[in-house]
Amino acid sequence: MKTPLSRSLFAQAQALIPGGVNSPVRSFGAVGGQPLFLHRGHGARVWDVDGNEFIDFVGSWGPLILGHAHTDVVAAVRAAAGKGTSFGAPTPREVELARLIHEAVPSMELVRLVNSGTEAAMSAIRAARAYTRRSKVIKFAGCYHGHADGLLVEAGSGAITHGVPSSAGVPPSYAQETLVAEYNDLATVERLFQAYQQEIAAVIVEPVAGNMGVVPPAAGFLAGLRDLAHAYGALLIFDEVITGFRVAYGGAQALYGVTPDITCLGKVIGGGLPVGAYGGCREVMEVVSPLGPMYQAGTLSGNPLAVGAGVATLRELRKEGRYELLERLASSLAHGLVEAAQEHDVPLTVHRVGSMLTPFFSAGPVVTYADARQADTGAYATFFHAMLERGVYLPPSQFEAWFLSLAHTEADIAQTVQAARFALAAVRAASVAG
């Protein structure tokens, strides 16, 4: 694989952009090497500036559930752009997108459109604080809810602890309002509620963790969170930025039968364009301006290009058989990876929920953030580069999800599994040599 143009562009980018990238994970820092510059995508495939072709399992980190340049999405964006790219005023399609979201996720009785998942999570927490008139929030180690200051925290030395900043530039005073519990461990949550009974506004959680690799909720975990939150007068927020319309048409709350008070969406509802949303029951959402005292605004919220792409995407997803096809393809890929690992005696634990999955380079089980961090990142880096050489583009991090799309075919899966056999042989050889 030759990459002279990518290397040249990366050198130029490093002189102009911090680290040469506009989002850290794109830098290949977790796997080594230099990033590829992509310039075209169609269906399940992408091409870099040097003409190398890849089967894509990044999918713009989840939004492209229909694949790249889907005909209906492209047509919707072109039609919207031809009428004007932004108005800063209400437009018909934002009403249609809100209606489609509400029909799929009934718990979102009122929906506010924003520009990103970060905005959605930040605004959902502000709404919860306004509604409960409390300040503290419980999040979980290993769960990511965007880069808002109060959420960029990590656990301290014990379960009952204030968070401490995990990013420079975050004042400790912000982090002190965030409490950190262990994902899939209700006891750590209950201890926090007992310690701060009248202070906790909300619990925010990825119902399926997607930022420490894919880690599904343990039986009873989500329902237990809801029960604990309500028992102490707090709200439950599901961050479904990744899982919304990805693991099921109604998201993880439909898949697991647990209803949150507020839901955050992003990714799929924009069809590849920047968009997010938060919403919940009418009583809670009526605190949002102009109905209530909680202020949140955005010039580009409900942008006509983004909502047009989102409407086209959701219309396609609600057609019969779409999620059954995704389930079949993703299941085939997961089983193929497991079998290939067994052939080469490589410890591999593959987690999958719907069309998102992660192969952890460990014997497992992977239930908590601590379990996930036991994965062999060096082995993943070897695997990643071996797959890239064989035409498969994967997330450049052990702790990110792979995403399948309706554009993937059984032939793509077979080709990927065959590439994985060679890549896992390379992992095994490196392990023996090391």
Residue labelled with tokens 């695997």? 383
Q: What pTM was computed for the model?
A: 0.95
What is the per-residue pLDDT for 320?
97
Based on the residue annotation, tell me whether 144 is a catalytic residue of this protein: yes
What is the per-residue pLDDT for 154?
58
What is the per-residue pLDDT for 166?
64
What is the per-residue pLDDT for 159?
32
**Which residue among the candidates 131, 144, 256, 278 is catalytic per the annotation?**
144
8 A C-beta contact, residue 244 and residue 63: no
User: Other CB atoms closer than 10 Å to residue 178's CB: what's the count?
Assistant: 24
Q: Give CA–CA dist 258/355, Å, rounded.
A: 20
What is the per-residue pLDDT for 165?
56
**Which residue among the candidates 183, 256, 267, 412 is catalytic per the annotation?**
267
What is the per-residue pLDDT for 183?
97
What is the per-residue pLDDT for 149?
76
What is the per-residue pLDDT for 38?
98
CA distances (Å), origin 144, targets 24, 104, 209, 310, 346: 14, 24, 9, 23, 29
Residue stretches of the chain with pLDDT short of 50: 155-164
Based on the residue annotation, tell me whether 48 is a catalytic residue of this protein: no
Based on the residue annotation, tell me whether 139 is a catalytic residue of this protein: no
Between strands 110-114 and 276-280, the pairing is antiparallel
What are the structural domains of the chain?
A: 4-69+320-433 (3.90.1150.10), 77-317 (3.40.640.10)
Residue 208, both tokens: 């399926």
**Which residue among the candidates 48, 56, 185, 239 is catalytic per the annotation?**
239
Handedness of CA 406, 408, 413, 416 (dihedral sign): negative
